[in-house]
Structure 1
Amino acid sequence: MLSCPTAMFLAWGPDLLCFYNDAYRPFLGYRLDAALGRPFREVWASIWDEIAPLVEATLAGESRTLTDLMLDLSRDGRPERSWWSFTYSPVLDDDGAVRGLFCVTAETTARVLGEAALRESEDHFRHTVELSPQVAWTCDPSGGITSYASRWLALTGQAPGEPLGDGWVRALHPDDVAPTLAVFAASLASGDPVDVEYRIRVAATGEHRWMRAHARPRRDEAGAILRWYGVVEDIHDRRLAEDALRGLNRTLERRIAEALAQRKLWADVFETTSALVAALDPDYRVLAANRAYADEFARLYGVRPRAGDDLLALLDAVPEEREAVRSLWGRAVAGEEFTVVAEFGDPERRRASYEIRFTVLHDGDGRRIGAFQYATDVTERLREQAQLARAEDALRQAQKMEAVGQLTGGVAHDFNNLLTIIRSSVDFLRRPDLAEERRRRYLDAVSDTVDRAAKLTGQLLAFARRQALAPEVFDIGARLRSVAEMLDPVTGARIRVVMRLPDVPCHVRADVSQFETALINMAVNARDAMRGEGTLVLHLECGRPLPVIRGHAGSPGPFAVLSVVDEGAGIAPEHIDRIFEPFFTTKEVGKGTGLGLSQVIGFAKQSGGDVAVASRLGEGTTVTLYLPEVAPPQAGGATDAAAAEDAGDGCSLCVLVVEDNLEVGRFCTQILEDLGHACVWAHNAEAALAEMERSPDRFDAVFSDVVMPGIGGIALARRLRDQHPDLPVILTSGYSDVLARDDAHGFPLVRKPYSASQVAQALRTIAGRLSRRRSDRR
């Protein structure tokens, strides 16, 4: 109890005297100096009303667990709101009678407040979306609607859930369905923003109104589209005004000289819209402006424009605004038709954002005589979009921090367990009187634990797609047959393994060790789901396409498809989207690390494939691994390599060791010397190149770390290959981002942590080749 990092206390005897460990001390606050050995009721008199029922129930022999209970501990003498989770358990004397109580507790205030803040953020986000006059929506990469604002239901009369998938199309005007879907399909295929206009039937009136839908994709770090975010806005009035504008333009082209008729037509058409409409000639004089344009200009700049006014002269007091107006209208009167969003207004009065469409004006003979401007105030819309984006960023940040906390906690837990075994074994190995049998046992425990730590690191890197792979081309069916022999002891005697393999070979290019690990991880999960009894089916198919998985785009292939099918309990729907998260597991404590499927999906993604999971509760689960299919490998080479290894036994080499870490460098040179090789140790790549320049024929091989300050190991290896083509270079690394991104570096790799036998094996191959070359010269 005293050495445990979790806060706990013991209350013992008739008066329930308090004893506690160091982790509990901060909870006492000002009570600390007088709490030890004092009656429990006196120590916590301020909250006795809340905890007295728990104490009574515990002393009656019951164990109680409470989560997130709000208590006012007043640790510094002032009232405070804090939340706590704890368990109360009875403590028995030698006769079995309850003589006290034992409590394990933890403060959960930060988590409770954080969850409340997250709920508030989510509620704020929902209100922001629902109060917007625009209809917000999202869809998956294949175009299926996944969410929408409730305003869409009010507009169209569709039932809740009906717009999901492609159900929203039923609200469109029949004539607009085909062209709208064509625009959607083109954007989904290219990744370009969606911008399409269509009509919907308004449920309240039965009329059809024009809408504009625009959306942009959100992508992951690799550029793949995760989801589309868009809005639908009512542009019916604008469309009518634009139609009227085009009609007016045609009318003005025919009747430019009829000024009176022109003014009457302008008033009839444009004084009925809230849009800001104006027309200028090439000299920036106002030809016409509707009331909405003149009112807004007067609000912004304090002066009201009239026909014949020089618009630029009206803006002399705000030169920056004048130049912005000159630039935009200059493009329009020069013949360019375009739409732009711009901000205008005197900073001391009011700034506003406008979406402005410019249209060229011609006379009856087709000559360009000016331009129209049609503008709408989008200030509030942009502000709401920015607010929505901030809410989304806050939500994503909260989710990211939760995932980081789960990952780091799981890593610390597993590595501390492994380090405990190593440290305890080393402490016993230091004893001079330790029996030989027990010494071997502790040495085996250290070696096994190092292997487990390396495997844990590999699984984390595989999940992050940062594992340094050693891919090769192999027949996946043949590999399955050989691995099947290892599955029997893994799955147990009561599980029958059935393989369904094609008659033709099926080749993939992947890391064989990682593939076998992924297969065993899937088999172990299937075994645990079936509770050690049932039928496990391994089904392999060749030449299949890759379907859309979790919103990621598919591919025509060909792919090798390996399905692992079990008859277990299945996966609950609320867990199906989390099974690939690192350290997420539904197994009992101590029954699994939660890294198995993380390794599977990391290996699949890094190898160019993917993993799909289908499950039904009570019926079983199918985990399907997709790997790109490749052409068979070229024959030859294996026999010569084996012969080279055999010829290398007993051959001494002169090895240049390149390692910047002093402890690892000393250990590596000691291994090589114990193996019978001569060594020269360079502390970095620059020193290694200097050694090669002094005596280029001295060394038989180079053994270099990858991650070093200055010139890295891969760059050093490539430079040595250019300067000394016959000099073998072996690389070693615990992790390298370069190796993780590019496996085709062309050099053999010994992964850290390495053993003496692994180093010996790598050098034996080189020694064998060297021996054969010397023999050929003789």
Structure 2
Amino acid sequence: MRGKYDVEGWRIRKNGTPFFITGSVSSSHDDAGNLIGFISILRDATERRDAEEKLVQAREQLAMSQKMEAIGKLTGGIAHDFNNLLMIIGGSAQIFTRLLDPKLPKAIEAIQTAAKRGESLTRQLLTFSRHQHLSPTVVDLNASIKNMRTMIESSLRGNIVYNENVGEGVASVKVDLAELELAIVNIAVNARDAMPSGGTFTLSVHAVTANQETGGDRRAKAFFAIALSDTGTGIPPNLLSKMFDPFFTTKEVGKGTGLGLSQVYGFAHQAGGTVTADSKVGQGTTITIYLPSCADEQITSKELAAARARSRQPQRQTVLIVDDSPEVADVTSSLFEHLGYDTIYRDSAEAALKLLEAGTKIDLVFSDIVMPGTIDGVGLAREVRSRYPGLPIALTTGYSDAAKAAPPSLKILRKPFDTEALRDFIHDLAPPRPTRSSGTPMASSTTEAVRRN
């Protein structure tokens, strides 16, 4: 018997712990060629095997990240133009409700419903691609989730029991609350569809420390994990890695867009955290969102904001609307006018600056971000703040990388928006001064108030 036999596999140490070995077994012969025994050489390769597995996982994560980035750029560009169309459709529908007789309420309602559905789809696309402009605030995670109970239950079905395990202590996180609500609803809807015969949907919140699973912003040592579990059909292992891919769905044609969980993925990463999924066929699925803690930051006071809004006295003011799309500008003007404002329209930043230089009295500049010419909306905001520090300016966009260049103090309203969203947005701006702003710089006492916004 001659030759060598390679071996590898798991073995058990005397203390009961497993380890992985590699090695070989070969025959030993004397000078006459007679077999005298066997030589077995074994090596402990546990660390090497672990390193190889981690390398494979890292390569898979890199490939996933590159794929997500490529799809994100594509969807972001499409959603930008689509949001402008939704702005025209939704805004026009609101105008119709004020102009037409009541014979067409169902048609108008259908238009508004379609616009809202389109807005939801683009939000999911943009959040996944991390190009959605978010408005994060510091919130009490426990209290916020408790306030969502009615919304979550309405997303489920009568034969599904909703359990909630949320603590009483303050759990501070910095998130866009609307996006967090959308993420939880998306998961709840998927859980509902996975339990056609009923079951249990459980939401729990607990604190965790940073590790490989939490990922996200490693500067945050503490995270809060939002675990959402169902007792549904589960997901096969070969599909589990694809469940956060956009447009991937196991549902029948027409039953789902495949964008719900991709929005969850984008939201979690944009908030500085991550999301994981664990599932067993026939037992159910658990999706966990990890969000970094920000216990050192102060929770936003909604009561203070509401009181500030109530203290403002309505007065007829003039808004300068800057947008390269006349159709979008017409809708925006109508919404402002419905709220009691006069409007002036210009189609570029250069034209808007000329109007201000001429001394036209303006109380607020409201500009789109993406515009042709040498100055976009962010550049216009810089010019206005530099030349006319007493003149408030706000931006709007459906999507733009240019929004990332805007300073945090600059307010941005995402398209499409309706009258209610516009009213709330205006309330969050600096209180108007008794003397209307114009093309001449205002006193320094006003400047500080504008900088705080």
TM-score, normalising length: structure 1: 0.45
Q: CA deviation at 1:480?
A: 0.8
Of 229, 236, 239 in structure 2, the residue corresponding to residue 575 of structure 1 is: 239
Structure 1 position 444 matched with structure 2 position 109? yes
Of 118, 122, 134 in structure 2, the residue corresponding to residue 457 of structure 1 is: 122
Of 59, 65, 68 in structure 2, the residue corresponding to residue 226 of structure 1 is: 59
Alignment-derived partner of residue 157 in structure 1: 6
Q: Counterparts of 1:217 and 1:614 in 2: how far apart (Å)?
A: 19
Q: CA deviation at 1:158?
A: 2.7
* Structure 2 contact 216–272 (Cα < 8 Å) conserved: no
Where do 1:400-419 residues align within 5 Å? none
Alignment-derived partner of residue 193 in structure 1: none
Structure 1 position 689 matched with structure 2 position 357? no
Alignment-derived partner of residue 525 in structure 1: 190
* Structure 1 contact 471–743 (Cα < 8 Å) conserved: no
Alignment-derived partner of residue 34 in structure 2: none
Superposed CA offset, 1:92-146 (max 9, x none): xxxxxxxxxxxxxxxxxxxxxxxxxxxxxxxxxxxxxxxxxxxxxxxxxxxxxxx
Percent of residue pairs identical: 35
Change (3 A) 1:637 1:486: closer
Alignment-derived partner of residue 136 in structure 1: none
Structure 1 position 170 matched with structure 2 position 21? yes
Where do 1:489-508 residues align within 5 Å? 489-508=154-173
* Structure 1 contact 648–766 (Cα < 8 Å) conserved: no
Further displaced range: 572-581 or 526-535: 526-535
Alignment-derived partner of residue 545 in structure 1: 210
Query: What's the secondary structure of 1:562's corresponding residue?
Result: strand
Q: Which has the higher contact order (CA 8 A, sep 6+)?
A: 2
* Structure 1 contact 647–772 (Cα < 8 Å) conserved: no
Q: CA deviation at 1:616?
A: 1.1
Of 745, 758, 763 in structure 1, the residue corresponding to residue 408 of structure 2 is: 745
Q: CA deviation at 1:448?
A: 1.0
Q: CA deviation at 1:216?
A: 12
Structure 1 position 712 matched with structure 2 position 376? yes
Quick one: which amino acid aligns to residue 226 of structure 1?
Answer: R
Quick one: which amino acid aligns to residue 508 of structure 1?
Answer: V
Of 140, 151, 160 in structure 2, the residue corresponding to residue 486 of structure 1 is: 151
Of 256, 259, 263 in structure 2, the residue corresponding to residue 595 of structure 1 is: 259
* Structure 1 contact 468–743 (Cα < 8 Å) conserved: no
Change (3 A) 1:599 1:204: farther
Q: Counterparts of 2:4 and 2:351 in 1: how far apart (Å)?
A: 74
Where do 1:271-286 residues align within 5 Å? none
Q: Counterparts of 1:678 and 1:494 in 2: how far apart (Å)?
A: 52
Query: What's the secondary structure of 2:240's corresponding residue?
Result: coil
TM-score, normalising length: structure 2: 0.74
Q: Counterparts of 1:228 and 1:731 in 2: how far apart (Å)?
A: 36
Quick one: which amino acid aligns to residue 704 of structure 1?
Answer: S
* Structure 2 contact 369–402 (Cα < 8 Å) conserved: no
* Structure 1 contact 611–625 (Cα < 8 Å) conserved: yes
Structure of higher CA gyration radius: 1
Superposed CA offset, 1:510-548 (max 9, x none): 110000000111111112212252221111002433433
Where do 1:256-275 residues align within 5 Å? none
Q: CA deviation at 1:576?
A: 0.6
Quick one: which amino acid aligns to residue 170 of structure 1?
Answer: I
Show structure 1 runs of 5+ residues with no match. Answer: 1-153, 172-199, 230-395
Q: Counterparts of 2:4 and 2:364 in 1: how far apart (Å)?
A: 76
Quick one: which amino acid aligns to residue 763 of structure 1?
Answer: I
Query: What's the secondary structure of 1:460's corresponding residue?
Result: helix
Q: CA deviation at 1:227?
A: 5.8
* Structure 2 contact 378–406 (Cα < 8 Å) conserved: no
Quick one: which amino acid aligns to residue 516 of structure 1?
Answer: E
Of 646, 649, 652 in structure 1, the residue corresponding to residue 316 of structure 2 is: 652
Structure 1 position 472 matched with structure 2 position 137? yes
Alignment-derived partner of residue 629 in structure 1: 293
Q: Counterparts of 2:425 and 2:318 in 1: how far apart (Å)?
A: 14
Q: Counterparts of 1:527 and 1:608 in 2: how far apart (Å)?
A: 28
Query: What's the secondary structure of 1:158's corresponding residue?
Result: strand
* Structure 2 contact 363–436 (Cα < 8 Å) conserved: no
CA RMSD, Structure 1 to Structure 2 (Å): 4.5
Change (3 A) 1:203 1:554: farther
Q: Counterparts of 2:318 and 2:4 in 1: how far apart (Å)?
A: 82
